[in-house]
Structure formats: C-alpha cells, structure tokens
Amino acid sequence: MTPEIWITLAAANFAAYLAPGQNVALVGAATARGGLFGGLVATGGILVAELIWAAIALALTLTAREVADGVLLGVQLGGGAFLVWSGARMLRAPAVTVANRVPSVNGALRLAALGTWGGLANPLALIFFVSIFPGLIGSIADEPPAQLLVFCGSAVVLSSFAALTPYLAASQVLVKAGGQKLLKGLSGGALLCVGLAAIALGAAW
C-alpha cells in the first residue's frame, strides 16, 4: 500500500463525483430544507454510503467474486425508484426560510438517512465500485483486509467530501441569497431525472 496507489484511488473517485449528479442534488436539496447544517448532515450520510460501497467492493475483490447481472439490475432499478421517490418528496417539501436554520433531531436524522440511502442508490457508485475499483486495488489485494479497508476507505471518503464541498458551499450561498425554492426545485428535479434514467437504462438492459 503506497501513497501512489492511495492518490490514484482518491483521484479516480474525486473525478467520478466532481461531475454534477445525484449526490450533488441530494446535498442541494438537503441544504434547501435544512440550511448549511442540513447539507452537512446529508453529506455525512453520503460519505457513510461511500464507505459501505468500498467495503462491499473490497469484499468482492478479495473473494474473487463477481456480482450477478440480476443483482446489478435489481440494485439499479431499486435505486432508480428510490431516487424518483426522493425527488418527488423533495419537490413537495417546504424550503428553509432561514439560511442558518438548524433542523430538529428527527429532521437531521431524516436528512442523514436520505444521504445514506441516496448514496447507496447512486448509479455512478455502482459503476465505480463494481467496474473500476477492483482494478485500482488489484496489486494490493494480498494485504490484511482491515488495513485495506482503512486505506481504501480513507481515500474514498476524503475525495468524495472534497468533491462535494464546492457544491455544498454554492448551495448555502444560494440559500442565503433567497434562492431556496429554486435550489429545492432544481435538486428535486435532478433526482427525479436521474432516477427515471436509471430505471429506463435498467429496463433496456
């Protein structure tokens, strides 16, 4: 496990998540609903999902197992359905009225759960961790599993947070400028579109 491999893994994950997508929409929607704190909570949930994906992909790599096509299809369709539901729910939810509002405990837990489930339903995550991740860590697969999880997990979590930070900041700026409804509409609509696209691609598989 060398710094070069860590940087390569982090850079690949950063590039995959820097492009606007559903995680960006989740962060924007959470910020529109719960201010900066809500966006941070949802981001934390997304990072938990990234760590779970990394652990699953690592386990599959170490056991030399491949994911059956039917399982991949089920994950994609289920994730798409969840994103459609989340997008529709976001569009109906009220936007935050105060930029520095702190959600209630229950509200924060809901936003964290939204981030986690949304991150697990991310089609990009499915592609990255099933298709790209194993090739990046193949040369170190003989290392102790616990050390591999820390090594790979830290690269994935830190790079994902770095990729989402600019969008979190931009969302908060928009909320402070009074654009909560616009942000909520764009984020909810994006979730709907990504979910419908995932379902359509899965149906055509």
CA 131 – CA 18 distance, rounded (Å): 18
The DSSP 8-state label assigned to residue 25 in this structure reads H
pTM: 0.74
Q: At what angle do helices 145-176 and 180-203 cross, to 10 degrees?
A: 140
Note the pLDDT tens digit of each residue in 94-141. 655 544 455 567 777 888 888 888 787 776 776 677 667 777 776 777
Residues of the chain short of pLDDT 70, as ranges, are 19-20, 64-77, 79-80, 82-83, 86, 90, 93-104, 123, 126-127, 130-131, 138, 180, 190-191, 194-195, 198, 201-205
C-alpha dihedral, 153 to 122 to 124 to 167, nearest 10°? -80
Give which of 112, 75, 110, 119 is closest to 89, Cα–Cα. Answer: 110
The DSSP 8-state label assigned to residue 138 in this structure reads G
